[in-house]
């Protein structure tokens, strides 16, 4: 194998490893996906180098395929990041740890052992209890609501946080 190919292989390995470290350490969602793209471009360098080494264009076709898959992945990742950002206004990955499996003694309540955990689920507030409020206030709020134009209320955040 000639030295130019070996040099390219060396740089491809470097980019792959740096992208791997970046994906594992960074906590910003967007930077994690950029590290993933860096790993893909490190692999593409290897494909191009081997294509030139073996004297055909098959490896270059695989680089085109990698580009296609990377752009699909970027589009889907951006849509996911935007919809996650709408729910909790942060880009931190650590704010989504409730999605993972509950492990005992890992900072989260142990649902298998703790009897205190068995309580009723908390529902989002809908309507109100008429016994808890005096009647005049109820009439007043109803009037003021009738006078007000109907507005669209977005409860996306209050349901889920």
Partner 1 sequence: MNVSLLSDATTILLLATPEILIPVILGGVSLFLLQIGMGQAQTKFKLALVGLGIVLLLGSFAFHFMDAAPTLPKALQLAFGMLSVFGAVGLLSFREPIHAALGFAVAVLSTAGIFLLQAAPFIAASTIIVYVGATIIIFLFVLMFAQSTHPQIQDVRLTSPILAIFGGMLLLLMIQGAISTLPIAAIPERAPQRVVDLGRVMYTDYLYAVEIAGTLLLIATVGAISLGQKKRVGRTTTSASSLTPPASQRPL
What's the min distance (Å) between Cβ of 156 and partner 1? 5
Cβ atoms of 46 and 12 closer than 8 Å: yes
Please calculate the CA angle 106-107-109 and round it to the nearest 5 degrees. 95
26 makes contact with partner 1 (CB under 8 A): yes
Q: Which is nearer to partner 1, 24 or 112 (CB)?
A: 24
Q: Which of 98, 122, 128, 136 binds partner 1 (CB under 8 A)?
A: 128
Q: Segment 38-97, which members bind partner 1 (CB under 8 A)?
A: 38, 41, 44-45, 48-49, 51-52, 55-58, 60-61, 63-65, 67-76, 78-83, 85-86, 90-94
Question: Helices 29-54 and 3-25 sit at what angle, rounded to 10 degrees?
Answer: 160
How far, in Å, CA of 57 to CA of 51, rounded? 6
What's the min distance (Å) between Cβ of 109 and partner 1? 22
Stretch of residues binding partner 1 (CB under 8 A), selected from 103-111, 114-122, 123-131: 123-131
Cβ atoms of 74 and 41 closer than 8 Å: no
Helix (H, G, I), strand (E, B) or coil at 84: helix
How far from 10 is each of 7, 40, 46, 94, CA to CA, in Å?
5, 15, 9, 34
DSSP-derived letter for residue 50 is H
What's the min distance (Å) between Cβ of 122 and partner 1? 17
What's the min distance (Å) between Cβ of 102 and partner 1? 19
What's the min distance (Å) between Cβ of 93 and partner 1? 7
17 makes contact with partner 1 (CB under 8 A): yes
């Amino acid at each position: 194998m000639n030295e130019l190919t070996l040099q390219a292989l060396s740089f491809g390995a470097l980019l792959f490893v740096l992208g791997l470290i970046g994906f594992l350490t960074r906590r910003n969602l967007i930077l994690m996906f950029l590290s993933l793209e860096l790993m893909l471009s490190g692999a593409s360098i290897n494909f191009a180098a081997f294509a030139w080494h073996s004297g055909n264009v098959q490896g270059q076709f695989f680089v085109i395929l990698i580009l296609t898959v990377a752009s699909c992945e970027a589009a889907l990742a951006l849509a996911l990041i935007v919809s996650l950002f709408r729910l909790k206004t942060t880009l931190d990955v650590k704010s989504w740890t409730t999605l993972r499996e509950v492990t005992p003694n890992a900072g989260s309540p142990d649902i298998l052992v703790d009897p205190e955990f068995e309580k009723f689920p908390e529902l989002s507030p809908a309507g109100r209890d008429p016994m808890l409020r005096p009647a005049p206030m109820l009439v007043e709020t109803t009037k003021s609501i009738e006078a007000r134009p109907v507005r669209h209320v977005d409860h996306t955040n209050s349901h889920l946080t």
